[in-house]
Amino acid sequence: MKYRLLGKTGFKVSEVGFGTWQLANDPNSWVGSDINISLQCLKDYVEKGGNFIDTAWIYGFSDDKPNNHPSEQLVGKFLKESGKNNIIVATKIPPKNMNWPALKGSSISQVFSREHIKQCIDDSLRSLGLEQIDLMQFHVWQDNWADENEWKDTIGEILLSGKVKFFGISVNDYQPSNCLKTLDTGLISTIQFIFNIFHQKPIEKLFPSAKKHNIGLIARVPLDEGGLSGKYTNQSSFPSEDLRNTYFAGERLLELVKRTTELKKLLGLEVHSLPEMALRYILSFEEISTVIPGMRKIYQVEENLKASDLGKLSDHLLHELKNHAWERNFYSEPDPAMKDTQYIEE
């Protein structure tokens, strides 16, 4: 396992982090996790050199159990049982109005009020069983909030209290530039964002800005919710409550299979599988600090961590992968039959 600096935090994080959304048995997204297997995955990950775990207050949350935060609690259970104190833990503050992504024109007081920020941090500390959180991220964002003072004063107080070491932002889906003005404040240390072979937009504006401000970049959704695993066919199906049931609905699945079939033609001596290609593609950019695939099976941990050891892709293959960009937003497009919807960054 290789390590990189997480921007100005100074943390040395493993190139492959561990995303834990899928471990939470979230009733509104991912289902089918087994707590014992999940704990074993975390154990195997750390034993193989992984040291960065990303979770969130909202992962697994349900209204009928408002004091439960399953993903954070699972991570907390692992930390307690393993006795590991060298793990870097990142979590997230949900928007108070529970709107993902943050609505354009919304006021930050509706989303991240002082009281809400403080309450969620206390909730997360309790769920994780920690006295201090390494990295606390805002789970949505709008860049016009950079001009507001309350959130700046609030996180300043929290940093002084010692409850949080650093703050970051998990930007809205497919809006990688919706944070650039905020980086000028100097209060944000990391940005978490969608980046993969299909979604290459972050390279254009976010990467140069992050380099200028020494911002740690955390790449999420590296396998496009499993699409870049290469295992889906035209006949694949998912449980009705599973995120992928709508994400790959209708003609979306057919288009995905068509595109992954083309990507498989690039496999050979340099790269042996689509997941390997997807992760090594991301790690080929020096601006990236870590990539956080979700891993619910032991074999996924073992396969994904190999990407760090295998290193960057060749310039030739990186150039070829530019031709496989597929900019779209399957989280928010209302009609699964849409074929020509173009990505537009706000």
pLDDT at 28: 54
3-state secondary structure of 63: coil
Q: Report pLDDT for 335.
A: 46
Backbone angles phi, psi at 27, to 5 degrees: -65, -15
pLDDT at residue 31 in the model:
57
Structure tokens at 232: 């889906």
| C-alpha pair distances (Å), 69 with each of 90, 160, 220 | 14, 26, 20
pLDDT band at 207 (very low <50, low <70, confident <90, very high): very high
What's residue 124's pLDDT? Answer: 98
Query: Who has greater pLDDT, 239 or 216?
Result: 216
pLDDT at 341: 39
Q: What is the CATH number of domain 3-324?
A: 3.20.20.100
Mean pLDDT of 249-254: 91
**pLDDT class for 201, splitting at 50, 70, 90?**
very high
How many residues can be counted in the chain?
Answer: 346
Q: Give the global pTM.
A: 0.94
- Please list the residues that pair with 13 across neighbouring strands: 4
30 C-beta neighbours (distance < 10 Å), count: 22
Residue 209 has pLDDT above 50, yes or no: yes
DSSP secondary structure string for all residues of 203-267? GTTHHHHHHHHT-EEEEE-TTTTTGGGS---TT----TTSHHHHHTTTHHHHHHHHHHHHHHTT-
